[in-house]
Amino acid sequence: MLIDSHCHLNFDQFATDRAEVLERAKANGITTLINPSVDLADSRRVVALAEEIPNLYAAIGIHPNSADSFDEDTLTALRTLADHAKVVSIGEIGLDYYWDKVTPPIQRHAFEQQLKLATELHLPIIIHQRDAAEDTMAVLRAWVANTKNNSDDTPNLPRLVLHSFSGDVAMAEEAIELGFYIGISGPITFKNSRHLPDVVAAVPLNRLMVETDAPFLSPHPFRGKRNEPARVKLVAEKIATLKEMPLNELSQKLTKNTVDFFNLEFGTASHPKRVTGLLSTRQKI
């Protein structure tokens, strides 16, 4: 039993065989899927798909590569959409300097505004960063400090995951220190997995989650092919080897981490647990 904590099942790559893809996921013990969004239209599509598929949950948000579409109206629309009972997270948000599409200040503005929104709604956050590790950590460090300063006693920080982690051990250690989770995807299975085996060794088991980022980042031996949620099992198998523990035991722990992270109700996976304090505002479906 595993949860794919990050896949884009709504993307066109799955338009013709989504049902089969879901069947294969189920046959491989993948009980639950979290589907993040990249812009506002995508967020609406993901929520619509979550209404159709009982074990699929939505994360809504504006990806840094779409940050030039972000304005006050977007924020209002996201706030409204977040009321939906199957919206469990804000994401994926962050910084991406690999694709030269949107200037860093515009990316940063959308990122910070959505961090604020997630804090206000107390929804867990999915972070995307590519070639922007330093700036991403700087924004997150400031966000943690400000949120802690603004709360009276117990800091009210939502949970946060650095999805498809690609940084080094020092970055992972700082992320753990700040209270974050680390999402591990297909590249851990690659021959040139760089820092990732050391990262997995350094990160405590209770802060790890697994994901596919399907249709991207297919693990070995499917590298370069369309990825799908069933293959999150290959990621978990590699981590089990690195952590020197049985796959079953590891899977249970990863599932528990993910259920806790997204406030999913253990066992049923059909209704998210209501976030404390937001019971009255989050509608049932």
Query: Nearest to residue 9, comparing CAs of 65, 40, 47, 66?
Result: 47
Residue 14 has a CB neighbour count (10 Å cut-off) of: 21
- Collapsing DSSP to helix, strand or coil, 259 comes out as helix
How many Å apart are CA 281 and CA 285, to the nearest integer? 13
CA 220 to chain centre: 21
Q: Tell me the closest approach of the beta carbon of residue 175 to Ni ion, in angstroms.
A: 18
Q: Is the peptide bond prior to 64 cis by the omega test (within 30 degrees of 0)?
A: no
Q: Tell me the closest approach of the beta carbon of residue 163 to Ni ion, in angstroms.
A: 7
Nearer to Ni ion, 44 or 282 (CB): 44
Nearer to Ni ion, 213 or 228 (CB): 213
Q: Are the CB atoms for 199 and 173 separated by under 8 Å?
A: no
Nearer to Ni ion, 147 or 166 (CB): 166
Nearer to Ni ion, 42 or 213 (CB): 213
How many Å apart are CA 74 and CA 233, to the nearest integer? 36
How many Å apart are CA 38 and CA 12, to the nearest integer? 13
Nearer to Ni ion, 91 or 158 (CB): 91
Nearer to Ni ion, 15 or 279 (CB): 15
Q: Are the CB atoms for 81 and 60 separated by under 8 Å?
A: yes
Residue nearest to Ni ion (CB): 213
- Phi/psi at 113 (nearest 5 deg)? -65, -40
Q: Tell me the closest approach of the beta carbon of residue 233 to Ni ion, in angstroms.
A: 19
Q: Tell me the closest approach of the beta carbon of residue 126 to Ni ion, in angstroms.
A: 8
Q: Tell me the closest approach of the beta carbon of residue 283 to Ni ion, in angstroms.
A: 26
Q: Tell me the closest approach of the beta carbon of residue 234 to Ni ion, in angstroms.
A: 18
Nearer to Ni ion, 98 or 154 (CB): 98
- Collapsing DSSP to helix, strand or coil, 44 comes out as helix
How many Å apart are CA 204 and CA 173, to the nearest integer? 10
- Who contacts 236 (Cβ-Cβ below 8 Å, separation ≥6)? 2, 210, 247, 250, 251, 254
**Binding positions for Ni ion, rule: CB under 5 A:** 213
Q: Tell me the closest approach of the beta carbon of residue 92 to Ni ion, in angstroms.
A: 5
How many Å apart are CA 84 and CA 107, to the nearest integer? 26
Q: Tell me the closest approach of the beta carbon of residue 200 to Ni ion, in angstroms.
A: 20
Nearer to Ni ion, 96 or 213 (CB): 213
Neighbouring-strand partners of residue 61: none
